[in-house]
Structure 1
Amino acid sequence: MNLLRDNDLIYGRLLTIEEPHLIERYNKALAAFGLKPTARASFEIDRSGYSPQVAEDLGDVNYLDPNQINRRFIILTPQQIDLPVVHTAFSNTSQLLFEFMTSNQRVINALTIKDVIYGEIEDSVAKVEDIEDLLSINQVEFKVLSAEDVTGKATQLATLVDRLKQEPDAWRDTAMLEEMVDLAKVTGDIRENALVPDHVIFRHNAYWTSHFGGLYVFVDPGMTTVISDPSAPGFRRSRPWQVSYLSLHDADKVFEFLLSTGRIELPRASWIEKSGYLEHRADMLVRSLIHQSDPKRDLGKADRVWLQTWIHSNASLINSDGTFPFLNAAKREISQLGQLKIEDVPPRQRFLVVRARPDHPDAWLTNSLISDFVPFDFMSRYVFNKPAFYRDYEDFNEVWRAHVVATLKDTYLKDKAGFRQRLYGLTD
């Protein structure tokens, strides 16, 4: 993974922590979780406070996610809201943290001046043993603590302030007044700085999870849809009136689900032609076929002319695979008719020519699912399905790794927002 790290394709955009007081606070949070403190003078963290360097020292990549459920977090600074989440068992962890930090921005700003915020994103399940455990999670609650207990002391001070206001003789209680002074030395003026988060419960909606080899959950009115390998424990076991189970290997039924629930855009000239979507798929395919036929070939200097020459010279391979001719035929039909008759396309090839509806709340998750059916498109895998991309990368040889990294660096990393907007219509 060193090549990925050196090119900011893994653990990129993290925040460096090197101030002694922040490292001390981080260690207090680690101690509260029963973990060894870090001796590093500098390390990086993501939005959740996860640090690849601390994980390496502890020998545990799941040190903030011990059972891949009830995710822990450590917040040292409000700046973390702008960071990615680089290691999680649930795709919506990043969004839940963003909602929590946005909803409690004033509290986090005030608390992190004095203290570190840590805790768990808690739900009703302590350990996931089958699909039903996942489906029982409807909402999560942020259990918030702080090393110096500033939050607890602020709550205690607020209670005493209320007592002072409501009980006529409370001002005569010298011990209580002294206690209030001591608490205020820690909390400051709680009238000006709210120190207790008041938005801690959030909905747990559609997501992907790494449990059972990778599983998708989509939520619609009256029906929840699970898409996974049928070998996952609990698959099709219960509640058929509430839960629909689809095999991740059944391209026909998965596509029909995405289409019937309005999650995908069908191939129409209005977006296909201006996006270059089919050209992108074809380019990814050809590069993959070249690598399969000659694993040691360096594609670093392969320009468009060279690629076109290779296509002509390897017509039999191209035709036997069938994907490139299909993409060319689809492009011609869309150019002539303005659309492609999707019902005439074999189920698995349908995923080559569709994308998630950009305005749908599940657009990112849907594009991630689509990428599972188009694994040769490593760029789409990287953008929407990083866990799958990193698994694929482990099996790449050194030549292909170098090419993949160079391609991502020279295209996607140069203009992430522009790339996503052009190909997928996404504006954020």
Structure 2
Amino acid sequence: MSSKFPLLRDNALIYGRLLPVEEPHLIERYNKALKAFGLKATKLKSFEIDRTGFSPQIAEECEDYDYLDPNGINRRFIILTPGQRDLPVVHTAFSNTSQLMFEFMSKNQRAIDALTIKDVIYGEIEDSVSKVEDIEDLLSINQVEFRVLSAEDVLGKAAELGKLVDRLKQEPDAWRDDKMLEQMVELAKVCGDIRENTLVPDQVIFRHNAYWTSHFGGLYVFVDPDATTVIGDPAAPGFRRSRPWQVSYLSIHDADKVFRFLAGTGRIELPRASWIESSGYLEHRAEMVVRSLIREAEPKRNLSDTDKVWLQTWMHSNADMINRDGNFPFLNAAKREIRQVGQLRLEDVFPQQRFLVVRAKPDHPDAWLTNRLISDFVPSDFVSRYVFNKQGFYKDYEGFSQPWREHVVDILKTTYLKDKVAFRTRLYGLTD
């Protein structure tokens, strides 16, 4: 994909913050994991990896971006170093893959630290299904289990050494068995002192909670204590037919019902002065609306030298178009009402426009997923799309003209990339 979007790659807007792998011994270990998966060894002398071990360079080499994600289920992983924990996940069929990998690496940090000194860790995030053919397959996944292996079988040898140590403790004459003692010495050369080194990951099962998946054109699953809600295209196989007694189904095309679900389950912050006025949220949305209209009217215009004065001039010249669209006047009216009464009544607002003035509740566990869903209803805000919905952003980007691509990159560089944490905190209230 990076070869398709060189401008994004050159500006670290795709496959950014990855870990370079250049040392021959690490490349050799990576190749051992590839071979264990039945894949060809890479001939590259250097490449980059994300948290899961996915490498865009190797994906291009083998012409398969799903080489670690066959069938979009039971994701494979390759861990060369504990440092991968702090990397992003840049290619996945499930939005929660990143969190699952982070939890696994955090809970088993000591074992991963010890193992990766001498070996590569690889395996699969095993689900309860081997292929996703309808929504029922997704709903059947309640938890995942990390199946963990190592190329030099350090894990197996550690387990074997542990059994021999137990035998030595429990059998009075075991110390007379020279062959067993020699075997223990040889195993210890590989494993070290297993009394000090935790080599076997002890937490490998994790809950599979709310997520977005690329299956069936993109589908959301939200889990609440008393219900599960699926949001997607009604054409998806199993939609409204799988577990109707315990699952609610909402069409992604029904803005009103989706909004009511998010509001009713406490996942969004409604437009109130307490956060709207300090965040600059409506101003940001308004600017995105105007820029989208410029693209619609003049898709090939060079916007490299535009400034706020130029934008104001363009808006005056295209007032009729802006009024017909309705979103910019709506946002201005919303600002006035919030300034006057401290909040905005949404009952009479067109459902699609409601998403312009809300954000995910920052302290909700599903905040990132909710902001992703909101971005589906506000495609004009390419910044929010990039922050929360990169798959959607990259799909949008494919349809952009070259001048507009350059403009989008410039805006992202001068806003979000300048200080990601500060930007997310100010605009979305997120602190992580």
Asked if 1:161 is matched to 2:150, the reply is: no
Asked if 1:404 is matched to 2:408, the reply is: yes
1:179 maps to what in 2?
A: 183
Measured against aligned partners, the alpha-carbon deviations of 1:154-204 in whole angstroms (never above 9, x if no partner) come to 011001111111111221222221211111111111111111000100000
CA distance in 2, matches of 1:176, 1:253: 68
DSSP-derived class of the 1:342 partner: coil
CA distance in 1, matches of 2:26, 2:312: 55
CA distance in 2, matches of 1:60, 1:221: 39
CA distance in 1, matches of 2:20, 2:92: 20
CA distance in 1, matches of 2:405, 2:244: 44
Q: Structure 1 counterpart of 2:82, which letter?
A: P
Once the 2 structures are TM-superposed, how far is the Cα of residue 37 of structure 1 from its aligned partner? 0.6
Unaligned runs of 5+ in 2: none
Does the aligned pair in 1 maintain the 2:135–2:242 contact within 8 Å? no
CA distance in 2, matches of 1:172, 1:225: 64
Measured against aligned partners, the alpha-carbon deviations of 1:305-333 in whole angstroms (never above 9, x if no partner) come to 11111111111101111111100100100
CA distance in 2, matches of 1:423, 1:8: 22
Once the 2 structures are TM-superposed, how far is the Cα of residue 302 of structure 1 from its aligned partner? 1.4
CA distance in 1, matches of 2:429, 2:261: 21
Once the 2 structures are TM-superposed, how far is the Cα of residue 90 of structure 1 from its aligned partner? 0.3
Q: Structure 1 counterpart of 2:325, which letter?
A: D
Asked if 1:383 is matched to 2:384, the reply is: no
CA distance in 2, matches of 1:348, 1:296: 28
| Stretch of structure 1 that moved more, 96-105 or 170-179 | 170-179
Moved over 3 A (4+): none
Does the aligned pair in 2 maintain the 1:131–1:235 contact within 8 Å? yes
Asked if 1:116 is matched to 2:120, the reply is: yes
Asked if 1:82 is matched to 2:90, the reply is: no
DSSP-derived class of the 2:248 partner: strand
2:262 maps to what in 1?
A: 258
Q: Structure 1 counterpart of 2:412, which letter?
A: L
Q: How many residues align?
A: 428
Asked if 1:92 is matched to 2:96, the reply is: yes
DSSP-derived class of the 1:192 partner: coil
When normalised by structure 2's length, the TM-score is 0.98
DSSP-derived class of the 1:299 partner: coil
Aligned mate of 1:394, from 369, 393, 398: 398
Aligned mate of 2:155, from 123, 126, 151: 151
| Stretch of structure 1 that moved more, 169-178 or 135-144 | 169-178
CA distance in 1, matches of 2:405, 2:310: 20
2:213 maps to what in 1?
A: 209
DSSP-derived class of the 1:255 partner: helix
Q: Structure 2 counterpart of 1:118, which letter?
A: Y
Does the aligned pair in 1 maintain the 2:229–2:249 contact within 8 Å? yes
Q: How does 1:333-348 map to 2 (within 5 A)?
A: 333-348=337-352
Q: Structure 1 counterpart of 2:296, which letter?
A: Q
Once the 2 structures are TM-superposed, how far is the Cα of residue 23 of structure 1 from its aligned partner? 0.4
DSSP-derived class of the 1:343 partner: coil
DSSP-derived class of the 2:249 partner: strand
Q: How does 1:11-26 map to 2 (within 5 A)?
A: 11-26=15-30
2:238 maps to what in 1?
A: 234
Unaligned runs of 5+ in 1: none
Does the aligned pair in 2 maintain the 1:278–1:353 contact within 8 Å? yes
Once the 2 structures are TM-superposed, how far is the Cα of residue 240 of structure 1 from its aligned partner? 2.0
Once the 2 structures are TM-superposed, how far is the Cα of residue 291 of structure 1 from its aligned partner? 1.3
Measured against aligned partners, the alpha-carbon deviations of 1:100-154 in whole angstroms (never above 9, x if no partner) come to 0000000000000000000000011000000000000000000000000001100
Q: Percent identity?
A: 79
DSSP-derived class of the 2:71 partner: coil
Q: Structure 1 counterpart of 2:94, which letter?
A: F
CA distance in 2, matches of 1:397, 1:47: 32
Q: Structure 1 counterpart of 2:242, which letter?
A: S
Q: Structure 1 counterpart of 2:280, which letter?
A: G
DSSP-derived class of the 2:417 partner: coil
Measured against aligned partners, the alpha-carbon deviations of 1:24-43 in whole angstroms (never above 9, x if no partner) come to 00000000001111111110
Q: Structure 2 counterpart of 1:207, which letter?
A: Y
Once the 2 structures are TM-superposed, how far is the Cα of residue 241 of structure 1 from its aligned partner? 2.4
Does the aligned pair in 2 maintain the 1:110–1:193 contact within 8 Å? yes
Measured against aligned partners, the alpha-carbon deviations of 1:263-290 in whole angstroms (never above 9, x if no partner) come to 0000000100110100000000101101
CA distance in 1, matches of 2:226, 2:243: 12
When normalised by structure 1's length, the TM-score is 0.99
Does the aligned pair in 2 maintain the 1:223–1:241 contact within 8 Å? no
Does the aligned pair in 1 maintain the 2:220–2:231 contact within 8 Å? yes
Does the aligned pair in 2 maintain the 1:212–1:232 contact within 8 Å? yes
| Stretch of structure 1 that moved more, 108-117 or 340-349 | 340-349
Aligned mate of 1:7, from 11, 15, 20: 11
CA distance in 2, matches of 1:358, 1:332: 24
Does the aligned pair in 2 maintain the 1:50–1:73 contact within 8 Å? yes
1:358 maps to what in 2?
A: 362
CA distance in 1, matches of 2:243, 2:151: 43
